[in-house]
Structure 1
Amino acid sequence: MLEGMSNIEILKLFAPVIGMQIILMVFCLIKLRNDRVKWFPKWLWAVLIISTGLLGPIVYLLFGRERD
Protein backbone atom coordinates (compact mmCIF):
# COMPACT_ATOMS: atom_id res chain seq x y z
CA MET A 1 0.00 0.00 0.00
CA LEU A 2 2.76 2.47 0.89
CA GLU A 3 5.43 1.09 -1.48
CA GLY A 4 5.19 3.78 -4.16
CA MET A 5 4.96 6.71 -1.77
CA SER A 6 7.76 9.03 -0.74
CA ASN A 7 8.49 9.82 2.89
CA ILE A 8 6.85 13.24 2.55
CA GLU A 9 3.67 11.71 1.15
CA ILE A 10 3.54 9.19 3.99
CA LEU A 11 4.04 11.97 6.54
CA LYS A 12 1.21 13.98 4.96
CA LEU A 13 -1.00 10.90 5.13
CA PHE A 14 -0.40 10.31 8.85
CA ALA A 15 -0.12 13.97 9.97
CA PRO A 16 -3.79 14.29 11.06
CA VAL A 17 -3.56 11.14 13.18
CA ILE A 18 -0.30 12.26 14.78
CA GLY A 19 -1.75 15.71 15.46
CA MET A 20 -4.86 14.27 17.09
CA GLN A 21 -2.72 11.97 19.23
CA ILE A 22 -0.62 14.90 20.48
CA ILE A 23 -3.74 16.95 21.22
CA LEU A 24 -5.27 14.01 23.13
CA MET A 25 -2.09 13.56 25.17
CA VAL A 26 -1.93 17.25 26.09
CA PHE A 27 -5.64 17.24 26.99
CA CYS A 28 -5.18 14.19 29.24
CA LEU A 29 -2.12 15.65 30.94
CA ILE A 30 -4.06 18.84 31.71
CA LYS A 31 -6.98 16.77 33.03
CA LEU A 32 -4.53 14.69 35.07
CA ARG A 33 -3.17 17.80 36.74
CA ASN A 34 -6.66 18.91 37.81
CA ASP A 35 -8.41 15.59 38.56
CA ARG A 36 -8.21 13.07 41.36
CA VAL A 37 -7.01 9.68 40.13
CA LYS A 38 -7.67 6.02 40.89
CA TRP A 39 -5.27 3.08 41.17
CA PHE A 40 -1.91 4.73 40.31
CA PRO A 41 -0.12 7.89 41.40
CA LYS A 42 -0.29 10.85 39.04
CA TRP A 43 3.32 10.51 37.92
CA LEU A 44 2.67 6.96 36.73
CA TRP A 45 -0.46 8.02 34.85
CA ALA A 46 1.62 10.73 33.16
CA VAL A 47 4.19 8.15 32.06
CA LEU A 48 1.43 5.87 30.74
CA ILE A 49 -0.27 8.72 28.86
CA ILE A 50 2.96 9.81 27.20
CA SER A 51 4.53 6.44 26.46
CA THR A 52 1.66 4.27 25.22
CA GLY A 53 0.38 6.22 22.23
CA LEU A 54 -3.40 6.29 21.95
CA LEU A 55 -4.01 3.54 24.47
CA GLY A 56 -2.75 5.42 27.55
CA PRO A 57 -4.93 8.53 27.19
CA ILE A 58 -8.01 6.46 26.42
CA VAL A 59 -7.46 4.18 29.44
CA TYR A 60 -6.92 7.22 31.65
CA LEU A 61 -10.12 8.89 30.47
CA LEU A 62 -12.18 5.72 30.88
CA PHE A 63 -10.75 4.22 34.08
CA GLY A 64 -8.14 6.47 35.73
CA ARG A 65 -10.19 9.42 36.90
CA GLU A 66 -12.42 9.59 39.95
CA ARG A 67 -15.81 10.83 38.92
CA ASP A 68 -17.88 13.01 41.19
Structure 2
Amino acid sequence: MSRARAILAGFGLAFSSAMAQDLNITRAFDDLHDAARAQRQEAEALRRLQVIQRERVRRAEEQARRQIERDSR
Protein backbone atom coordinates (compact mmCIF):
# COMPACT_ATOMS: atom_id res chain seq x y z
CA MET A 1 0.00 0.00 0.00
CA SER A 2 2.79 2.46 0.81
CA ARG A 3 4.38 1.76 -2.58
CA ALA A 4 1.11 2.67 -4.32
CA ARG A 5 0.93 5.87 -2.28
CA ALA A 6 4.52 6.70 -3.19
CA ILE A 7 3.75 6.16 -6.87
CA LEU A 8 0.62 8.31 -6.61
CA ALA A 9 2.59 10.97 -4.77
CA GLY A 10 5.21 10.85 -7.53
CA PHE A 11 2.51 11.33 -10.16
CA GLY A 12 1.06 14.18 -8.12
CA LEU A 13 4.45 15.89 -7.91
CA ALA A 14 5.09 15.41 -11.61
CA PHE A 15 1.66 16.81 -12.46
CA SER A 16 2.01 19.78 -10.11
CA SER A 17 5.50 20.43 -11.48
CA ALA A 18 4.12 20.46 -15.03
CA MET A 19 1.34 22.80 -13.92
CA ALA A 20 3.90 25.07 -12.28
CA GLN A 21 5.93 25.11 -15.49
CA ASP A 22 2.80 25.95 -17.49
CA LEU A 23 2.02 28.72 -15.02
CA ASN A 24 5.56 30.08 -15.27
CA ILE A 25 5.38 29.98 -19.08
CA THR A 26 2.03 31.77 -18.96
CA ARG A 27 3.46 34.41 -16.63
CA ALA A 28 6.47 34.85 -18.89
CA PHE A 29 4.20 35.36 -21.93
CA ASP A 30 2.06 37.79 -19.94
CA ASP A 31 5.19 39.73 -18.95
CA LEU A 32 6.36 39.75 -22.56
CA HIS A 33 2.94 40.93 -23.71
CA ASP A 34 2.94 43.70 -21.09
CA ALA A 35 6.44 44.80 -22.12
CA ALA A 36 5.42 44.88 -25.79
CA ARG A 37 2.31 46.91 -24.94
CA ALA A 38 4.37 49.36 -22.90
CA GLN A 39 6.81 49.72 -25.79
CA ARG A 40 3.95 50.38 -28.24
CA GLN A 41 2.46 52.97 -25.88
CA GLU A 42 5.83 54.64 -25.49
CA ALA A 43 6.31 54.72 -29.27
CA GLU A 44 2.83 56.20 -29.72
CA ALA A 45 3.52 58.86 -27.09
CA LEU A 46 6.77 59.74 -28.87
CA ARG A 47 4.92 60.02 -32.20
CA ARG A 48 2.38 62.35 -30.58
CA LEU A 49 5.16 64.50 -29.16
CA GLN A 50 6.79 64.67 -32.59
CA VAL A 51 3.51 65.79 -34.16
CA ILE A 52 3.09 68.45 -31.48
CA GLN A 53 6.66 69.64 -31.99
CA ARG A 54 6.23 69.84 -35.79
CA GLU A 55 3.01 71.80 -35.31
CA ARG A 56 4.75 74.24 -32.95
CA VAL A 57 7.57 74.74 -35.44
CA ARG A 58 5.07 75.29 -38.26
CA ARG A 59 3.17 77.88 -36.20
CA ALA A 60 6.37 79.65 -35.19
CA GLU A 61 7.52 79.80 -38.82
CA GLU A 62 4.12 81.11 -39.89
CA GLN A 63 4.14 83.73 -37.15
CA ALA A 64 7.68 84.82 -38.08
CA ARG A 65 6.67 85.07 -41.74
CA ARG A 66 3.66 87.26 -40.83
CA GLN A 67 5.85 89.44 -38.63
CA ILE A 68 8.34 89.90 -41.48
CA GLU A 69 5.48 90.85 -43.82
CA ARG A 70 4.16 93.38 -41.28
CA ASP A 71 7.60 94.86 -40.74
CA SER A 72 8.19 95.22 -44.47
CA ARG A 73 5.05 97.35 -44.99
TM-score of the pair, normalised by structure 1: 0.37
Please identify the structure whose Cα radius of gyration is greater: 2
Higher RCO by CA contacts (8 Å cutoff, separation 6 or greater): 1
Higher helix proportion: 2
TM-score of the pair, normalised by structure 2: 0.35
